[in-house]
Amino acid sequence: MRILLGATLALLAAAAMAAEVAPEQRRSGYDFASPQVRAMQDDDTANPGMLWVSGGESLWTKKAGLAALSCGDCHGDARTSMKGVAVRYPAFDATLGRPIDLEQRINLCRTEHQRAGPFGREGEDLLALTAFVANKSRGLPVAVNESPELKPFSELGDKLFHRREGQLNLSCSQCHDDNWGKRLAGNVIPQGHPTGYPVYRLEWQSLGSLQRRLHNCMTGARADPYEYGAPEMVALELYLMERARGMKIETPAVRP
Amino acid sequence: MPRVLINLPERATRGEIIEIRTLIQHPMETGYRLDGNGARIPRDIINRFACTYNGEEVFRAELFPAIAANPFIAFSTIATRSGELIFSWTGDDGQTQIESRHIIVE
């Protein structure tokens, strides 16, 4: 409790700073991880996230729904068709009139084109397919669209990132802009760039989405997290991707 | 059916030491955790892993609850002759997952 209070006071003291991370200072969570965790991520034969990627590969060719179509029937070879897709999500969906993230895009394909039921959020199948698709963009720089219709949503994300919330009255920015590199209890505070999602987190003993990570942070600040897939969650994802523009996709990343 | 990743060279020269790496998707539930209602989550782990090379056992391991989920097991053996490597993971429920890989030794 004393540690938590100390950390909170330290954060409150730094609150006046509130400056964004300068482009040349941006660092992936990978750089803050231990050499052992980095080695695990770097080697596909040891990276447990690859279990989900290989699961996604089998889902890609599996026919589903009333239309009896597989992802591959429309999109062909994922190595070419899905290359560079994850770098531009969340993307604007004209029909819905709002941005959707990669998971929602996959579920739209399922319900509209395959005419199958949507995968459950954070379920094994959706994580596997998302990891498989995002893995095809590994090494490519984040490049979300700068279209004017996305602007109000990234502004909402920006606002949510800087808004204090929860019983601890903390904003995302207070940790990830003002105090990255320092420690919160035993853990190094990263800058919060979403470049490796879905990510294999040792604490979870599993793969998880960016929204699961956001849930964790919100619960940590003792705030009531938004529902999975909520517009606020997608707006935050969009803002985080803009903030990480140009950084390289690492999916599946490994984090402590 | 759990997902499995096995990495070993497709070809090796006779007498060469080869490294074999395996990953299997498994929760490795310890049996010590409680669920949201305070009820004990039953233990469910892989307790045995073995690898045979042309019928001869070349590696075996016992696993315990302190081993993390999705266990990664790496070991080495000597490439003797071409043939089948059979990998088996046995769980608390008695179920065994079996995978095989071919190796060419010249």
**What structural domains and CATH numbers belong to chain A?**
2-14+25-43+143-255 (1.10.760.10), 52-135 (1.10.760.10)
**What structural domains and CATH numbers belong to chain B?**
4-105 (2.60.40.10)
Is-contact B10 B101, C-beta < 8 A?
no
Q: Tens of pLDDT along B27-54?
A: 999 999 999 999 999 999 999 999 999 9
Q: Tens of pLDDT along A18-48?
A: 578 888 899 999 999 999 999 999 999 999 9
Per the rule left: phi > 0, alpha: psi between -120 and 50, beta: everything else, A49 is: alpha
CA distance B69 to chain A (A): 6
Residue partners of A222: CB distance under 8 A and separation at least 6: A166, A167, A168
Entry pTM: 0.91
Cβ contacts of A38-42, under 8 Å, gap ≥ 24: A38/A254, A40/A254, A41/A196, A41/A250, A41/A252, A41/A253, A41/A254
Which pLDDT score is estimated for B2? 81
Q: Tens of pLDDT along A131-183?
A: 999 999 999 999 999 899 999 999 999 999 999 999 999 999 999 999 999 99
Cβ contacts of B81-84, under 8 Å, gap ≥ 24: B81/B14, B81/B54, B81/B105, B82/B106, B83/B53, B83/B54, B84/B53, B84/B54
Asked if B3 lies within 8 A of A205 by C-beta distance, the reply is no
Predicted ipTM?
0.91
Pick A51's closest partner by Cβ from B28, B70, B74. B70
Mutation site for B-interface testing, chosen from A41, A44, A51 by largest number of B Cβ within 10 Å? A51
Is-contact A106 A119, C-beta < 8 A?
yes
